[in-house]
Amino acid sequence: MASVIHFTIATTAEESPDFRRVLWTGTNTQLVIMTIPPGGEIGEEVHEDIDQILTFVSGVGEAKVGGATKKVAQGDLVVVPAGTKHNFLNTGELPLVLYTVYGPPEHADGAVHHTKEEADEAEESGEDEPPTQD
């Protein structure tokens, strides 16, 4: 029998100072928490074959998805369909904290990136690759 994987997700996300931390990776999805510092951003990107759902825990920011811009705050959820250009920016004075689900996984299982710069370096070097499906 499989064990229950359980997170008090808002608390877990709020307690993480890391830019990105992979909490769980399955065959088809991945759960990641992020903390974007004031004035920071995720960075404009496109995931060609990956859908993404982001839920905001605290802070305020902007979601730029497919050419449209919306304000985001605690309790908001944004869907980014595969192939859609997107970026998320912190426009407030406190960290913008969120959790996101990728389908399929986007990052290396268990990856922890303390800063955006560290995350970018890991992606560029190929260190932050999702598990392969055999």
Q: State the CATH number of the domain containing residue 94.
A: 2.60.120.10
Write the pLDDT tens digit of every residue in 31-48. Answer: 999 999 999 999 999 999
Tally of domains in the chain: 1
Which amino acid makes up residue 101?
Answer: V
Would 117 be classed as within a structural domain? yes
Cα(5)–Cα(2) distance, integer angstroms: 9
Q: Predicted confidence band at 133 (pLDDT cuts at 50, 70, 90)?
A: low
Cα(51)–Cα(103) distance, integer angstroms: 5
Domain with 100, as residue range(s), is 9-123
pTM: 0.94
Q: Give whole-number Cα distances, 82 to 50, 85, 118, in Å.
A: 5, 9, 24
